[in-house]
Amino acid sequence: MTEAAVSTGVLAPDVTSDMRAARSHLARRFLKNPLGIAALSVLVLIVLAAICAPLLTSYNPNAVSVLSILQGPGAGHLLGTDGAGRDVWSQLLYGARYTLAGALLATVVAAVFGIASGLVAGYYGRWFESAASWVTTLLMALPGIVVLLAARAVLGPSLWTVMIIFGVLLVPAFYRLVFAAVSGVRNELFIDAARVSGVSDLRIIARHILTVVRAPIILQASIVFGIAIAVQVGLDFLGFGDQSIPTWGNMLNDGFTNLYRDPQLVIWPGLAVVITGVALTLFANALRDELEQSAHPSRRRRAAAATAAAATAAATTGDPVRPENDTIIHAEPSSSAPAPLLLHIEGLAVGYPQPDGSVTRVVDNVSLDVRRGEVHGLIGESGSGKTQTAWSVLRLLPAGGEILEGSICLDGEDLSRVSSAEMRDIRGGRIAYIPQEPMSNLDPSFTIGSQLTEPMRTKLGVSKTEAKARALKLLGQVGIPNPERTFASYPHELSGGMAQRVLIAGAVSCEPDLIIADEPTTALDVTIQAEILDLLRELQHELGVTILIVTHNFGVVADLCDRVSVMQKGRIVETGPARAIFADPQHPYTRSLFDAILDESQARGPYAESRA
Amino acid sequence: MLTFTVRRLLYGVLLLFVIVTIAYLLLYAAAGDVGRTILGPTATQATVTLKDQQLGLNSPLITRYFSWLGHALTGNFGSSWFTNQPVTTAILTRLQVTLTLVFGAVIVSAALSAVLGVWAALRGGWVDRIIQVFSVLGFAVPGFLIAVFLVRIFALELHWFKPTGYVPITYYFGGWVRTVTLPIIALSIGLVAGVAQQVRSSVIDALRQDWVRTLRSRGVSERSVLFKHVLRNAGGPALSVLALSFVGLLGGAVIIEEVFGIPGLGQVAVLATSEGDVPLVMGLVVAIGVIVILVNLVIDLLQGFLNPKARIS
Residue-wise pLDDT for A397-408, tens only, equals 888 888 888 889
Q: How far apart are CA A337 and CA A339, in angstroms?
A: 7
Which of chain A's residues have a Cβ under 8 Å away from the Cβ of B233? Answer: 443-445
Residue A100 is predicted with a pLDDT of 92
Give the percent of chain A with pLDDT over 90. 14
- Contact between residue A558 and residue A375 where contact means Cβ atoms under 8 Å apart: no
Residue of A nearest to B292 (CA): A141
- Contact between residue A509 and residue A452 where contact means Cβ atoms under 8 Å apart: yes
Which of A67-81, A210-224, A443-457, B151-165 shows the lowest mean pLDDT across its residues?
A: A67-81
Closest CA to A577 of A338, A398, A278, A294: A338
Q: Which residues on neighbouring strands pair with residue A575, listed in sequence order?
A: A329, A565
Helix (H, G, I), strand (E, B) or coil at B75: coil
> In the structure, what pLDDT confidence band is assigned to residue A325 with cuts at 50, 70 and 90?
low
Distance from CA of A310 to the nearest CA of B (A): 21
Where residue A372 falls (left for φ over 0; alpha for ψ -120 to 50; beta otherwise) is beta
Q: Which residues on neighbouring strands pair with residue A343, listed in sequence order?
A: A370, A410
Distances (CA, A) of B163 to A129, A237, A258, A414, B149: 49, 17, 16, 64, 11
Distances (CA, A) of A568 to A386, A435, B164: 8, 21, 73
B32-76 pLDDT, tens per residue?
A: 777 777 777 777 888 888 877 777 777 788 888 888 888 888 888
Instruction: Report pTM.
Output: 0.77
Distance from CA of B175 to the nearest CA of A (A): 25
CB contact set of A317 (below 8 Å; sequence gap of 6+): none
Give the percent of chain B with pLDDT over 90. 8
Inter-chain residue contact A145 with B258, CB threshold 8 Å: no
Distances (CA, A) of A432 to A40, A545, B213: 53, 10, 11
pLDDT at B240 exceeding the cut of 90: no
A460-497 pLDDT, tens per residue?
A: 888 999 999 999 999 998 888 999 999 999 998 888 88
Secondary structure letter of residue B225 according to DSSP: I
Distance from CA of B54 to the nearest CA of A (A): 23
- Contact between residue A209 and residue A185 where contact means Cβ atoms under 8 Å apart: yes
- Contact between residue A161 and residue A151 where contact means Cβ atoms under 8 Å apart: yes
Residue of B nearest to A150 (CA): B273
| Helices of type H across A431-587 | 448-459, 464-477, 483-488, 496-508, 526-543, 554-560, 578-583
Q: Which of A149, A394, A506 sits opposite B273 (nearest CB)?
A: A149
**HEC states along A350-401?**
EEEECCCCCEEEEEEEEEEEEECCCEEEEECCCCCCHHHHHHHHHCCCCCCC
pLDDT at A300 exceeding the cut of 50: no
Other beta carbons less than 10 A from residue B61's beta carbon: 12
What end-to-end distance do the CA atoms of chain B give, in Å? 9
Distance from CA of B107 to the nearest CA of A (A): 16
Inter-chain residue contact A230 with B142, CB threshold 8 Å: yes
Q: How far apart are CA B147 and CA A85, in angstroms?
A: 26
Which of chain A's residues have a Cβ under 8 Å away from the Cβ of B142? Answer: 1-2, 230, 233-234, 273, 277
Q: How far apart are CA A324 and CA A572, in angstroms?
A: 8
pLDDT at A106 exceeding the cut of 90: yes
A184-228 pLDDT, tens per residue?
A: 777 777 777 777 777 777 777 777 777 777 778 888 888 889 889
Residue A598 is predicted with a pLDDT of 60
Inter-chain residue contact B258 with A238, CB threshold 8 Å: yes
Backbone angles phi, psi at A342, to 5 degrees: -100, -45
H or E element that contains A212: helix A210-237
pLDDT at A22 exceeding the cut of 60: no
B148-184 pLDDT, tens per residue?
A: 888 888 887 888 888 778 888 788 888 888 888 889 9
- Contact between residue A394 and residue A432 where contact means Cβ atoms under 8 Å apart: no
Return the higher-pLDDT residue of B283 and B247.
Answer: B283
> In the structure, what pLDDT confidence band is assigned to residue A21 with cuts at 50, 70 and 90?
very low
**HEC states along A58-100?**
CCCCCCCCHHHCCCCCECCECCCECCCCCEHHHHHHHHHHHHH
Helix (H, G, I), strand (E, B) or coil at B156: helix
Inter-chain residue contact A424 with B221, CB threshold 8 Å: yes
Inter-chain residue contact B233 with A5, CB threshold 8 Å: no
Inter-chain residue contact B211 with A285, CB threshold 8 Å: no
AA identity, residue A359: V
Strand order in the sheet with A514-518: A328-329, A571-577, A563-568, A375-379, A546-551, A514-518, A431-434
Distance from CA of B133 to the nearest CA of A (A): 10
Other beta carbons less than 10 A from residue A526's beta carbon: 7
Q: Which residues on neighbouring strands pair with residue A172, listed in sequence order?
A: none
Instruction: Kindly tell me the burial class for residue B158, based on how many C-beta atoms sit within 10 Å of its own C-beta (0-12, 13-18, 19 or more).
Output: exposed
B219 CB-side CA count, 13 A = 29
Inter-chain residue contact B252 with A145, CB threshold 8 Å: yes
Is the ipTM of this structure higher than 0.90? Answer: no
**Choosing among B14, B145, B277, which should be mutated to test the A contact, i.e. which has the most A CBs within 10 A?**
B145
Closest CA to A1 of B244, B110, B188, B141: B141
pLDDT at B30 exceeding the cut of 80: no
Residue A607 is predicted with a pLDDT of 43
A475 CB-side CA count, 13 A = 25
Helix (H, G, I), strand (E, B) or coil at B104: helix
Which of chain A's residues have a Cβ under 8 Å away from the Cβ of B213? Answer: 391, 396, 433, 435, 441
Where residue A339 falls (left for φ over 0; alpha for ψ -120 to 50; beta otherwise) is beta
- Contact between residue B284 and residue B91 where contact means Cβ atoms under 8 Å apart: yes
- Provide the mean pLDDT of chain B: 84
Inter-chain residue contact B248 with A2, CB threshold 8 Å: yes
Length of chain B: 313
Distance from CA of A66 to the nearest CA of B (A): 27
Inter-chain residue contact B219 with A425, CB threshold 8 Å: yes
